[in-house]
Amino acid sequence: MEKRVTFRGWLLPLMLIAPQVVVSAVFFFYPAGQAIWQSLFIADPFGLSSQFVGFGNFEFLLSDKFYLASFATTAIFSILVTLCSMIPALFLAVMADRLIKGSGVYRTMLIWPYAVAPAIAGVLWLFMFNTRVGLVSWYLGNLGYDWNHVLNGGEAMGLVVVASAWGRISYNFLFFFAALQAVPRSVIEAAAIDGARFWRRFWTIVLPLLSPTTFFLLVVNVVYSFFETFGVIHTITSGGPQQSTTVLVYKVFSDGFVGQDLGSSSAQSVILLIIVGLLTVVQFKFVEKRVHY
Amino acid sequence: MAREVHGMVEKRGAGLWLTHVFMILGVLIIFFPIWLAFVASTVTQPEIVKPPMPLWPGAHFWENYSEALFSGVNVPVTTMLINSLVMAIGIAVGKIVISLLSAFAIVYFRFPGRNFFFWMIFLTLMLPVEVRIVPTYEVVAGFGMLNSYGGLIFPLIASATATFLFRQFFLTIPDELAEAARVDGARPMRFFWDIVVPMSRTNVAALFVILFIYGWNQYLWPLLITTDPEMNTIVMGIKQMFPSGDDVAEWPVIMATSILAMIPPVIVVVSMQRLFIRGLVDSEK
């Protein structure tokens, strides 16, 4: 779509767009270019000189068992976070949608966690499950279950998943709730007249009508669990134990900043860049579809 | 959002009560971590380190909060709150201003490179800070912006989302308005200030809510570039309050800080709920 009425001149618009373009160039494109460039070199341990290795860093990464493990960890992590945040959100939204009065109050209560930063969510959950003082881990201990996410990789994963999914429930709830409110009453009532009970109506009518929202949320939740959960992981497990919660973004950070392995960290950045690109394309394809829906 | 017509799918009696029970349970479970943090921020360290900790607030609210606010662990929490506020407002205002300007240029002008710049802005969507951590750090270090507000704000300020949102909105502004402005001999910037900006008020406000929370909740970026505790933001500073090694964390102060860290964004979200939901839906479209 274009405007038919426009103003003349070219200097003014260039000046108007300049701040955005300069910031993008300096802090987005130049660093991204640097990442691509650096991914082709290996720096010596002192950072004094570097040697061109072509795709050597990539070849090394793709045969590195820690990196491949990190891929698997990321996949498991994002699937779990997506499921654990979408299913409770859908359930709560369906319940709220059944209410004629009072859903506003519940909604106000439920959006709180959205405002809580992932890193803070990490601290709250760490506190509940802390091996020394945690309330939940203490009760688990009384029940005979020895909770120790510091040593047990599975428990560590469970904890970062729950802490990451928790704040996301608010977000998904809002989208599901809005979509449910938009389901035409007439369709529901027609089904009710035909004798379909609540859950049958839900599975056969409501859920299919929610599919655009569901698909949209699937994509954004995967993006969220890939890129925005760093704070949760850093506060709760720092990637451990034995790298069992080291997702790809965490590995870029730990190899680049802690390990100072610039070539490998840059190559990992480039791989992430490709993943974001793919996810963005999926997201936009879908948005196009949703417009026509 | 109350519906006018309640037909035959109205729920009454047991079903309705059950729905309320589920909702209340859901809210309680979701609220529990926040409640527990609040309780921990009002009791003493010995009450926490000897589990189980109480479930009802204690009498040490002022003590813990004033210790957090005025002495903290590495740096008073007040300092971190101010840093977070500057960063969040800087990012939100900065993104809105540069996006308003560039969307105005793209919609209301035809100039060389217009398409190129449009795609360039679009592509920043694919470059979250997480994938360009090390090189962006080097750029900021090169500008001498480590441990500065500029370093916290500028690298996060470009916004494809906000630009697209404003572009979409500007396209719905009737052409007659621009036509009239041109006939009256108004210059473009006059039109921008007198017509476009006032008409965008609601969009700006909705976007501000979302961007404020985005800025406030940043973790990785401040972690990288603020090595000086005086420049820590509250969200990243909490992790720094945990002792390294075997020392016991000062839980009441840390939990008081966690509560303080969530108060500003919670106030923004809850008090501007309608704008928040609108901004959320708009910015994801």
pLDDT of B213 strictly over 80 = yes
Q: B230-249 burial, b for 16+ CB within 10 Å, e for fewer?
A: ebbbbbbbbbbbeeeeeeeb
pLDDT band for B252, please (50, 70, 90 cuts). very high
When scoring A2, A4, A5, A28 by the number of chain B Cβ atoms within 10 A, the one with the most, hence best to mutate, is: A28
Report the pLDDT averaged over residues A244-266. 86
pLDDT band for B284, please (50, 70, 90 cuts). low
pLDDT of A102: 75
Which of B67-71, B85-89, B179-183, B238-242: highest mean pLDDT?
B85-89
Average pLDDT over chain A reads 87
> Whole-model pTM?
0.90
Chain A neighbours among B 22-81 (CB < 8 Å)?
22-23, 26-27, 30-31, 33-34, 36-37, 40, 48-49, 51-53
Which pLDDT tens digit goes with each residue over A271-288? 988 888 888 888 777 655
Contact residues for B113 (Cβ-Cβ < 8 A; gap 6+): A14
Residue B58: closest CA among B68, B76, B46: B46
Which CATH number, 1.10.3720.10, 2.60.40.1120, 3.40.50.880, 1.10.420.10, labels domain A64-292? 1.10.3720.10
On chain B, the residues whose CB falls within 8 A of the CB of A104 are 1
pLDDT of B12: 56
Report the pLDDT averaged over residues A35-45. 81
When scoring B16, B115, B130 by the number of chain A Cβ atoms within 10 A, the one with the most, hence best to mutate, is: B130
Q: Would you state the structure tokens that stand for residue B143, as one six-digit string?
A: 């500008």
C-beta atoms of A230 and B130 within 8 A:
yes
When scoring A5, A20, A34, A168 by the number of chain B Cβ atoms within 10 A, the one with the most, hence best to mutate, is: A20
Which pLDDT tens digit goes with each residue over A162-215? 999 998 999 999 999 989 988 888 888 888 888 888 888 888 888 888 988 898
pLDDT of B37 strictly over 80 = yes
pLDDT of B40 strictly over 80 = yes
pLDDT of B1: 39
Scanning chain B, the segments in alpha helix (DSSP H) are 13-40, 45-49, 61-70, 77-108, 114-123, 133-142, 149-153, 160-171, 175-183, 188-191, 197-199, 201-216, 220-225, 234-240, 251-271, 273-284
pLDDT band for B246, please (50, 70, 90 cuts). low
On chain B, the residues whose CB falls within 8 A of the CB of A123 are 37, 238-239, 254, 258
pLDDT of B6 strictly over 50 = no
C-beta atoms of A21 and B121 within 8 A:
yes
pLDDT of B18 strictly over 90 = no
pLDDT of B57 strictly over 60 = yes
Q: Counting Cβ atoms within 10 Å, is residue B76 exposed (0-12), middle (13-18) or buried (19+)?
A: middle
pLDDT of B124: 86
Chain A touched by B223 (CB under 8 Å) = yes
Type of residue at A275? I
User: In DSSP terms, which residues pair with A42 in a beta bridge?
Assistant: A51
pLDDT band for B5, please (50, 70, 90 cuts). very low
What is the rounded CA–CA span in Å between residue A12 and residue A23? Answer: 18
On chain A, the residues whose CB falls within 8 A of the CB of B178 are 3, 5-7
What is the rounded CA–CA span in Å between residue A171 and residue A164? Answer: 12
Q: B207 and B161 in contact (C-beta within 8 Å)?
A: no
Which pLDDT tens digit goes with each residue over A109-139? 888 888 999 999 999 999 999 988 899 999 9
Q: Smallest CA–CA separation between A260 and chain B, in Å?
A: 10
Type of residue at A193? I
pLDDT band for A219, please (50, 70, 90 cuts). confident
Q: Would you state the structure tokens that stand for residue A145, as one six-digit string?
A: 């279950």
How much of chain A exceeds pLDDT 90, in percent?
39
Type of residue at A235? T
pLDDT of A30: 92
Name the class of domain B78-232+254-284. Answer: mainly alpha
Contact residues for B146 (Cβ-Cβ < 8 A; gap 6+): B140, B225, B226, B227
Chain A touched by B169 (CB under 8 Å) = no
Domain range summary for chain A, segments of one domain joined by +:
64-292
